[in-house]
Amino acid sequence: MKRIIHIMAYAAIIAATVSCVKDLDQYPQTDMTSRDVYKDADGYQGVLSGIYAAFIQRIGNVSTESRSQNWIRTMMMFQDASTDALDAIWLAGESLTDVNGLSWTAGDPWVSAAYYHIYNIVAMTNELIRNCDESIISGFSEEDKNRIRICRDEARFLRAYAYMQAMDFYPKMSFITGNDPVGSFQPQTYDRKQMFGFLENELKDIAGTLKDVSYGHATSYAAWALLSRLYINGEVWTGQSYATQCIQACKEVLKGGFTLEKDYQKLFNGDNHLRTNEIIFAFACDGARTTTWDATTFITCGSVLSDFDDYDKVHGTTDSGPWDCLRARPDLVNTFTTGDSRACFLSYDRLLDSLHATRPAGYYTKEGDNLYIYKERSKDIIGHDETTSGWRITKWTNLTDAGEPASRCSDGGGANTDFPVLRLAEINLNLAEAVLRGGSGASEEDALKSINDLRARAFGSEGEAISSDELTLGFILDERLREMYMECIRRTDLIRFGKYTSGKTWQWKGGTFEGKDTDDRFAFLPIPEAELSVNPEMKTVNAQLGY
């Protein structure tokens, strides 16, 4: 059985609330006090486990809808479903029309979910960090002090990860640390350049103190990998290139001896906790102990569309039924060429032939297959809130390496698939891009090898290697889509390349079938309306953006 590192026993206990997070003022409610929780090192570890769990589980008071948009689900909606990668189907059911077409407002429930999830993590991590002060832990043994310090630095990593999302979504944002008072106060406001400086120093500092190996926990290599992501986006966030620093951070990660997993799809199956050769940091999910309808349960079950019998043999989501939530945009499908194993799509419906005395219209048989009848699906997405068009996605599954469902995705269960946050493939892509953007410390040959290693894995041979003349920024943007779709990073990539609100269109962008450019304000999210009364400065930020 998969090793479980996230236990909900302390989930979200005594997370500090701050005045800039109005919807968190009553969260969480508990009779426990800091004295109860932090009486020993196990208590600190339990609180840290609760913070990790907050990325996976539903946090009721953070969500603004009964369906509860959790962290991963919310990030995927903005990072993938608002791009050329992914189309969210159930628009009316989950109020996703604005996200899918880049037309949200400050009152959009998903806009609120993004903001409050970020600041929920900030509040929880600050509370743990505050209680790790050396003056507070002075009475513990040296062994327990060291355990507590590791908890503190993992919390600092998770806070940095959350703040990086804030910097990505907002031009200015509230900045709170463990040094700020608990209760009502007016927090500082940081612009992106200030936040960038804080995150750079923070990640560099903890990179030297975190463990090198600890699956499902932040490690030194995870800190360097997150730094590489910070640096590759540095010019967008600060106006200054950090390409050389990105290369240096990538090289620090490569010292960890990571290697590409030979089978791409095993990175996203129910046994992907075994892929520590490539996965640098992941949110660990377990179908029995971290049960949720969100996180990777949503991704795997949400990819199951109607009219596909025996779906569990492909998706591994036993007893879940079709959720009819996610499908590929044709713009994603068209990026791939024949033979690319990363093109995890199905272009057809299938039904059990034995259940139909009269074959339904449009269905056909395949030679040698006496079990199913098939019907082709349109690659184009005919319309929203219908599930008959658009290709199915099979990148994420709940299958074991042996091809069996890893867990039951029904009441009381969920997917066993972990969510890789950082993996070696991104480091390869970051290094190559940083070289093309003028960074020093690696050669064009290094950049080319980084990309061709990914392509050799994708095609099973070196036959699809590209030449130095073909290695362009445009090629890297497409390669990032092929390699990392549905991993909550596509929107950030498109913005960095100047292709998000304009410069590139995709089907249903801007709410039209052909796609159209949208206003530049949609490169940002507005501060939720409910927040403006408690943090008036943010009202000015929204007005400056045009919200």
Across all residues in the chain, what is the average pLDDT?
90
Residues 301-352: tens digit of each pLDDT: 999 999 999 999 999 998 889 999 999 999 999 999 999 999 999 999 999 9
Q: What pLDDT does 289 receive? A: 65
For residue 341, being part of any structural domain is answered with yes
Query: Are 217 and 270 in the same domain?
Result: yes
Has residue 156 got a pLDDT over 50? Answer: yes
Calculate mean pLDDT across residues 157-162. Answer: 98
Domain that holds residue 302: 285-393
Helix, strand, coil in percent for the chain, rounding step 5: 45, 10, 50
Tokens of 108: 């959009």
Please give the pLDDT value at position 383: 86
Please indicate, yes or no, if residue 329 is contained in any of the structural domains: yes
Positive or negative: CA dihedral 90, 92, 95, 96: positive
144 and 76 assigned to the same domain: yes
Please tell me the predicted confidence (pLDDT) of residue 95.
79
Mean local confidence (pLDDT), 35-45? 91
Share of the chain above pLDDT 90, in %: 78
- Helix residue ranges per DSSP H, 440-533: 444-459, 473-484, 490-496, 529-532
H helices within 367-464, ranges in order? 424-436, 444-459
Hunting for tokens 């990148």 — which residue is that? 395
How many whole angstroms separate alpha carbon 453 and alpha carbon 192?
34
Distance of CA 433 to the CA centre of its chain: 21
Distance of CA 141 to the CA centre of its chain: 38
pLDDT on residue 220: 98
Whether residue 403 lies inside any domain: the answer is no
pLDDT in tens, 127-142: 999 999 999 999 999 9
User: For the domain that residue 135 is a member of, what is the CATH number?
Assistant: 1.25.40.390
Residue 277 covered by a domain: yes
- Tell me: the pLDDT tens digits for 457-467? 999 999 999 99
User: From CA 6, how far away is CA 2, in angstroms rounded?
Assistant: 11
Same domain, 193 and 50: yes
Judgement on whether residues 187 and 112 belong to the same structural domain of the protein: yes
**Boundary-marking domain end, from 393, 408, 429:** 393
* Overall domain count for the chain: 3
Judge whether 189 and 180 are in contact, CB under 8 Å.
no
Residues 11 and 116 in one domain: yes
CA distance 474 to 269: 30
Whether residue 67 is found in the same domain as residue 167 = yes
Q: Calculate the dihedral angle through the C-alpha atoms of 223, 224, 228, 231, rounding to the nearest 10 degrees.
A: 80
Asked whether residue 499 is domain-assigned, the answer is no
Q: 332 Cβ partners below 8 Å, 6+ apart?
A: 84, 85, 86, 481, 485
pLDDT of amino acid 184: 66
Q: Is the pLDDT of residue 257 over 50?
A: yes
Let me know if residue 407 belongs to a domain: no
Residue 460 and residue 432 share a domain? yes
Please report whether residue 355 resides in a domain.
yes
Q: Say if 175 falls within a structural domain.
A: yes
Whether pLDDT at 34 is above 50: yes
Q: Are residues 17 and 159 in the same domain?
A: yes
Based on the domain organization, do 91 and 42 belong to the same domain?
yes
pLDDT tens, position by position, 286-297? 866 665 678 899
Alpha helix stretches (DSSP H) within 188-335: 192-207, 220-232, 234-238, 243-254, 295-302, 312-315, 330-333
CATH of the domain at 452: 1.25.40.10
| Same-domain check for residues 1 and 139 | yes
- Residue 261 and residue 271 in one domain: yes
Above 50 in pLDDT, residue 23?
no
The alpha-carbon radius of gyration of the chain (Å, integer) is 23
Least confident of 88-102, 162-176, 231-245, 428-442: 88-102
Instruction: Examine the fold and report which residue of 393, 428, 446 is the final residue of a domain before the chain moves on.
Output: 393
How is 178-222 classified by DSSP, letter by letter? Answer: TTSPSBS---EEEEHHHHHHHHHHHHHHHHTTS-S--TTS--HHH
pLDDT in tens, 516-533: 999 999 999 999 988 888
186 & 256 share domain: no
